[in-house]
Amino acid sequence: MREYPGKRRRRNEQRALPDAALTFASQWQWPVVPGAGLEPQRRSRRDRTQDRTQETTAQPRDRGCACPYAECAVPGAHPYDPGVLAATTDPRMVRWWWERQPDAPVLLATGGRAPSAVSLPAVTAARALARLDRLGVRTGPVVATPERWALLVAGYGYEELGELLGEHGWVPAALGFHGEGGYLALPPSQTGAGRVRWERAPRPAPDGGAPWLPPVASVVDVLVAAVAAAPGGGRFVG
C-alpha cells in the first residue's frame, strides 16, 4: 500500500517529541519530564498552513498554557503534573508519559549529574558564541527559542557558580541560570516562547552516549561580559 508523503510527515511529526524524550533519557541519561504544554485549539486547514510557515514566531497564536494559571509566566514550558522532581531516565516511564501526552514539551531537569545551562537574550548569545569561537573555547549544545538561547554546560553547584560570579561583583539581570532544581525545554518542543530548536546541535559520543559538555567556568566570563555590554543588559550589584 502506497504511503503518501503528507501522511508520512505527520506521523514523523507525531513521533518527534516521544523519540526525542527517549533519546535524552535512555541513551544520554538526561532526566526528563513532560511540560504542561499549550492548550488545545481547533485549527482550519488555512490556519495550519500558516502555522507551519510561521512556527518560529515568539507566541503561538491564541494559545496559552494548559496549566490552570491564567497569568502563567512561561506558557507550556514548565512542569505541571508530574512535577520536576519526578524527572527520570527510565524509558518505561518516559514512554508512558508521552503515550498519554504526545505533544508535551520535553523538559530537562537540570543540575546534579544532568546538564546545567546558562541562558541569555538571543542576539547577545550569538555575539557571545562568536566571541567564544574566536577565543578557541569549545562549546557544547545550544538550545534556542526566538527570544533566548541557552548554552548547555556540565552540571554545576550554586556554590561554584556564586564564586565565579563573585569575581565580577555583579550579575547581569538578563542572564538565566538553570542548575539543580531547575528545568529547560529541549527541542523539538513547542512552548509559548515559540519552537525550541538546536542552534548548535548535540554531538553524541561515538557509542551513542551523552554529548560532551563544557564546564561553566569556561564560558561564564564571556557570557557575563556580553550581557553587560548589550543595550539594556542591566546589572545587579553583588
- Predicted local distance difference test score (pLDDT) of residue 127: 97
- Predicted local distance difference test score (pLDDT) of residue 55: 47
Report whether 65 contacts 39 (CB < 8 A): yes
- Predicted local distance difference test score (pLDDT) of residue 57: 45
Q: Is the dihedral of CA 151, 152, 154, 158 positive or negative?
A: positive
Residues 60 and 57: their CA atoms lie apart, in Å, by 7
DSSP state at residue 43? -
pTM of the model: 0.85
- Predicted local distance difference test score (pLDDT) of residue 168: 84
Q: Minimal CA–CA distance to 144: which of 173, 174, 124?
A: 124
Q: Minimal CA–CA distance to 115: which of 201, 207, 178?
A: 178
Could you tell me the residue ranges of all domains in the chain?
15-237
- Predicted local distance difference test score (pLDDT) of residue 41: 60
- Predicted local distance difference test score (pLDDT) of residue 60: 47
- Predicted local distance difference test score (pLDDT) of residue 11: 53
Report whether 139 contacts 132 (CB < 8 A): yes
Ordered per-residue pLDDT tens for the chain, 238 residues: 455 454 455 555 568 999 999 999 999 999 999 999 998 764 434 444 555 544 444 444 457 999 999 899 999 999 999 999 999 999 999 999 999 999 999 999 999 999 999 999 999 999 999 999 999 999 999 999 999 999 999 999 989 998 998 888 777 889 999 999 999 999 999 999 999 999 999 999 999 999 999 999 999 999 999 998 888 655 443 3
